[in-house]
Each structure stands twice: as C-alpha cells, then as structure tokens.
Amino acid sequence: MKKKLSLVMLSAIMLFTLSACGGNAATNSGNQSSNAAGSQTGTDETAATEELKPEEGAELRLWTFITDLKPFTDYALKEFEQKYNIKVTVEDVGYWDSIKRLSTDGPAGVGADVFGLQTPDVANAVQSGLVLPNDYFEEDTKSINKPDTIAAATHDGILYGYPWNVYTFSLYYNKDLVKDAKLETWDDIIAFSKKFNDVKNNKFGFLYEPKTSAFDVAFMTGYGGYIFGNNETDVNDIGINNEGSVKGMQFIQSLHEIIPLELADVTNNLKEGLWAQGKLAINMDGSWAIGEHNKQPFPVGVLPMPKLPGGENAMPLAGSTGYYVSSYSKYPNAAKLLAHFITTKEMQIKNNELTGALPAANISGTEQGIRNDELTQGFLKQIASSHRFPGLYETKYVWPALDAAIADVWKGGDPKAALDKAAEKLKTDIANQK
C-alpha cells in the first residue's frame, strides 16, 4: 500500500512523454453535444446541475487512485448514482498512468469517461487532445477553489480540470523516538540525527529520498532557487542553477553525513519499512499519507519544513489533483456532471473526513467538517508555505536533468558544476522540442 502511495508524489515528478495522438478528439461529436446542452455557465450549482442533462442511457467509467481513497469513492459514487440514475464503473488507475492508458484505450472505446490527473500532467493531456474543457461548470469551479489549483487545471487560458485536492510534503516524526528534542531548524535535525543514528542496526534520525529530485527542490527554493521564472510559468527563465539553487544543492550534499547510504539504496521501501519498525525518527513524506500515518501504532506528529542554515524555511513543492473529462467519452454531459459532482466543496470536505486528503477548495482549518487532527492541521499550514509546482509541458524535462545532478553531487561532485550542466541540458531539451 505504502509503495503505491509513494507513486502519487512520483507522478508529480515523472511526466510521461506522449506523442500528439487523438488531436481531433477534443472536437468530437460528444463535445458538440455538450455545448448544445448548455453553453452558458451557471453560477448557481443547483440550477446548473438541473439544466445540464445527461445523455439517455449514459454509463460512465471512472479511473481513480483507489488505494486509501476507497471510502470516499464508494460514498461519492453512491450519492451520484442515486441522484442521476447513472451507473459508474470504477477502475483503479493511478493518476500517473492515465495519459499513457487513455492514449490507446480512448480511441479503442474502452477508456475512462472521467479520470484523475496531477499538476504536471495537465499540459500533456491537453496538447495530446485527451480532455474536454470544463466549460459548463467553469464559474462554479473557479469560485470555490484556490487560485493555484485553478491555474494548475488551466492550459492556454482554458480551464479543463475540476480541482479536487492539494498535496505537498513535510516532516512526520515519531514522538516516542524524538521525545523532547529541539527540532526548530535543519541544524537541529542534523544534530539530533548524529546522536540517534545507528547505521549498523538500521536506525536513522532522518530519511528522505534524495534520488527523487522533486523532494530536493524544497532545499533549493528555500534559498531562493526556482525551476522556471515568474512563479514557475516562464520557461525562458531557468533558475535551477542560480545562487539559491546552488546553496540548496550544497545543503543536500551535507545531508549525506547523516544519511550515509548509496543514493540507490535510499528508497521509499527502505524508509517506510524502518518507519513502521520504529527505527526512523523523522520521515519526509507527503500529505497524501496523512490517513495512513494517523493509523501508526506510535504517536505521530508533523513538523513544518524548518529553517535552513543561513537561509529561509525549506519550501516543498505543492501541487493539486483534479478530475478531467475524456474527449473520447460517448457521454460528455454525464461525464461533466460526474466530474463536477465529486469535486464540489462539500465532497472535498467529505473526502478529507473519510481519507485525510487536503481539499483544493478555499477553506480554513476551522471549516466545519475538516479534520482537526494534528497532521491535517499541520499540512494545511505547510501548503500555505510551499512552492508552486510548475504545470508547464516542459516540466517533464526538468527531472532527468536534476536527477543526474543529484547523483553527481551525492558522490561528492561540485554542486555548481552539476547544476550548470543540468541547466544546459534543460535548455537544450526545451529548445529541441520546438
């Protein structure tokens, strides 16, 4: 279960390269029927759902990440089927697999009508002609959700998605192991780890996955680094080798002292296995795992990303998940109703109640229905102090370049030289796609 959960974050890292297939799908007859059913966007949710009529005999297929989300999926689909008398079949398809599968299953007529995507995959899906715009419920969607989640679900000024939840990562800690240790800064965490570590017996004060560069970006942005300029929207301004990014990489290199393992050996399986055994005190993990960590046999707390030596607080990447309507759907009206229904503010709050997922909607930590446990409240604060995940098509070129830099630096290579090389590779890859 945990291995699969970790893929949620990896999907925000590993963008699938997909040739522009099915480019005409977005203009198919299904889209035309949707526009005919109602071209005006309703701001009143009840009125809108009454006006948009599902196609006669509609049956839908939903692709979603079921693990640990099943309680919500079961609840939401039961409510939807009762309201609209539309049968929905659910398939367990990870967000990271949706584009690759839909590119073949869509034309074959066996793909999803509604499926999940995360921030980095939206541009790819749109440019490949796989999704229909969120036109009918556009105003309602924009009115309830955080601006960054709307931006993540938008491409070239057109809203496609129905935002559902947000995610970032921070530091879970085992209270029994940490006890009263001071952990206000990264210097504190390093000092604690040096005392706690017993490498021969697989005991570690702190672990994360340095080979997964999306985690490493938190340390780069904490010093003023960035991936793309203008709040991660300008591909002509690459910041992965600026002064702040280099400082962040130097700090990452220093962490090797308290994580004295080969890069390939620091896996999620290792980290989560030691965590479950009570041999890991501080675990960098995502908000998607709140529900599971609340079930641990030991008391778990969450630390906000601490202050870096000589810098600001580390700033992890934050992204969002949304649902999208397939351009190949035979029932686009019914599919839009489903995507909207399961992502309303009320349903997002219900999802938090049932699974711990953080809503994309504009809510406060005191909103009625939102969990009041320490982990949920801690991550709501961390989301507010995170760095926006770039949603550009070109983001897929970032991770191979940064992964290579991390591998070099972990072996003792020069951080600036490694990042200069990564920046040049990123620029070349982006230029060669045009």
| Count of domains for the chain | 2
Same domain, residue pair 278 and 425: yes
Are 154 and 300 members of one domain? Answer: no
Q: DSSP assignment, residue 294?
A: T
CA distance linking residue 220 with residue 238, whole number of Å:
13
Residue at 31 is within a domain: no
In a domain, 106, yes or no: yes
Is residue 45 domain-resident?
Answer: no
What's residue 47's pLDDT?
Answer: 42
Name the helix (H) or strand (E) containing 254.
Answer: helix 243-254
Question: CA 293 to CA 5: how far, in whole Å?
Answer: 12
Asked, for residue 34, whether it belongs to a domain, the answer is no
Q: Same domain, yes or no, for 417 and 326?
A: no
Are 423 and 274 members of one domain? yes
Residue 21 amino acid letter:
C
Asked if residue 325 and residue 302 are part of one domain, the reply reads: no
Residue 223, domain member (yes or no): yes
- One domain, residues 154 and 90: yes
Residues 366 and 412 in one domain: no
pLDDT by residue for the chain (434 residues), tens digit each?
Answer: 444 434 444 444 433 333 333 333 333 333 433 333 333 333 444 444 458 999 999 999 999 987 778 899 999 999 999 999 999 999 999 888 999 999 999 999 999 999 999 888 999 999 999 999 999 999 999 999 999 999 999 999 999 999 999 999 999 999 999 999 999 999 999 999 999 999 999 999 999 999 999 999 999 999 999 999 999 999 999 999 999 999 999 999 999 999 999 999 999 999 999 999 999 999 999 998 898 898 999 999 999 999 999 989 999 999 999 999 999 999 999 999 999 999 999 999 999 999 889 999 998 777 888 999 999 999 999 998 999 999 888 999 999 999 999 999 999 999 999 999 999 999 999 999 86
User: Which CATH number fits the domain that encloses residue 410?
Assistant: 3.40.190.10
Pair of tokens at residue 181: 């240790």
DSSP character at residue 305: P
Q: Which domain holds residue 234?
A: 169-317+392-432
CA end-to-end distance (rounded Å), the chain: 40
Q: What is the DSSP string of 157-226?
A: TEE--EEEEEE-EEEEEEHHHHTT---SBHHHHHHHHHHH-BGGGTBEEEE--TTSHHHHHHHHHTTT--
Contact indicator for 84, 337 with CB cutoff of 8 Å:
yes
409 plus 354 within the same structural domain = no
208, 287: one domain: yes
Residue 293 covered by a domain: yes
Rounded Cα distance, 199 and 206, in Å: 12
- φ, ψ of residue 89 to 5 degrees: the values are -95, 130
Instruction: Identify whether residues 325 and 229 lie together within a single domain.
Output: no
Q: Is residue 398 in a domain?
A: yes
Q: What was the pLDDT predicted at 150?
A: 96
The answer on 122 and 97 residing in a single domain is: yes
Same-domain status, 118 and 246: no
Residue 20 lies in a domain: no
Measured from the Cβ of residue 185, the count of other Cβ atoms closer than 10 Å reads 14
Give the C-alpha distances (Å, rounded to integers) separating 185 from 43, 152, 244, 286: 46, 31, 18, 20
